Amino acid sequence: MTDSAAPQQELDVVCIGNAIVDVLAQTDDSVLDAHGMVKGTMALIDEDQAKILYKAMPQGIETSGGSAANTAAGLASLGARCAFIGKVRDDQLGDIFVHDIRAVGAEFITPAATAGPPTARCLVMITPDAQRTMNTFLGASVNLDPDDIDGDLVQRAQVIYLEGYLWDRDEAKAAFLKAAALAAAAGRLVSLSLSDPFCVERHRDSFRTFVTDHVDVLFANEDEITSLYQVENFDDALQHVREDCRIAALTRSEKGAVVVAGDEVHVVDANPVEAVIDTTGAGDQFAAGFLRGLTRGRDFATCARLGAMTAAEVIGHVGPRPLVSLSELAAQNGLA
């Protein structure tokens, strides 16, 4: 035996995104007003702003977050084989992030930065209407660069999943493009989440080029997709996006989701939820459910139902990652 290395496991999805620890606190609307936040969106802040804002926040809880990392956690809970690529610093918050992403069962090998800014954190205000308003200090996440894109990982996966938030930094964007090129060369699918309407505002032109040139599966909510195409209503955006990419999975909160893939169109209802507690992670988890279905070869309607089920679980509690076994939940819902 000259080659003693064990053959490496095939992967369903590799998720690439910011490695962030969330600080969640329940606040009233006045905190948002006092600091000029726009409800339901994510704003980028620097380290000094993070300190000031943290001081103004009530007592919170800390929990691993990051959009694509949350998706990886959802995928793992659904039984998918997945990996995550993202950058932490070698500090206490970084230790928490790395522990948690591995504990959910995702492969994670990106080396931690040993210098530079601390691990990213996202200050999340949860208002009584269950909306989450986020302020992110990107910290060490900005140091994700093309060298961190492990070609082997990318080529072992059926799909790569990229969060739009990475577009905010040039090095990360370069990493993102490298991953997409590697995946395409290996005949893999490239999926992207638009992440946030303001993120779309900041990067509209390059997002549109990227979607047209590289994206097989696009995830967006109503605000994001109408912003991308600068149109007034959802249906207009729908007509645009079906020209631009093979599969678009568009979420509309309580109105459910629409999947469009060429001539195929599905309109799937949202799952009923007893009480909406915290919408953090809803889009991330919809993507997890959808991709789980896709990588198992399920039809698009079933993929969307899996997404709706997974999103409904996460908005029923505080925190952006599932609290129950989603594979058991899928079995109970006849979606296994």
Binding footprint of a second copy on the chain (CB under 8 A): 23, 26, 54-55, 57-64, 73, 91-93, 96, 99-100, 103-104, 118-119, 319, 321, 323
Rounded Cα gap, residues 232 and 220, in angstroms: 16
Classify residue 230 as left (phi > 0), alpha (psi -120 to 50) or beta: left
- Residue 218 CB, nearest distance to a second copy (Å)? 28
Rounded Cα gap, residues 284 and 68, in angstroms: 7
- Residue 54 CB, nearest distance to a second copy (Å)? 6
Q: Smaller CB distance to a second copy: residue 52 or 265? A: 52
Q: Smaller CB distance to a second copy: residue 91 or 244? A: 91
- Residue 100 CB, nearest distance to a second copy (Å)? 4
* DSSP-assigned letter for residue 121: E
- Residue 173 CB, nearest distance to a second copy (Å)? 28
- Residue 103 CB, nearest distance to a second copy (Å)? 4
Q: Smaller CB distance to a second copy: residue 86 or 319? A: 319
| Strand order across the 82-85 sheet | 107-108, 82-85, 11-16, 157-163, 189-193, 217-221, 247-251, 257-261, 264-268
Q: Smaller CB distance to a second copy: residue 26 or 221? A: 26
For residue 323, how far is the Cα from the chain centroid? 17
Number of Cβ atoms within 10 Å of the Cβ of 271: 17
Q: Smaller CB distance to a second copy: residue 218 or 318? A: 318
**Phi, psi dihedral angles at 125 (to 5 degrees):** -100, 120
Quickly tell me which residue has 């993120």 as its tokens: 199
Rounded Cα gap, residues 180 and 167, in angstroms: 13
Q: Smaller CB distance to a second copy: residue 123 or 200? A: 123
Biggest distance spanned by C-alpha atoms of the chain: 68
- Residue 118 CB, nearest distance to a second copy (Å)? 7
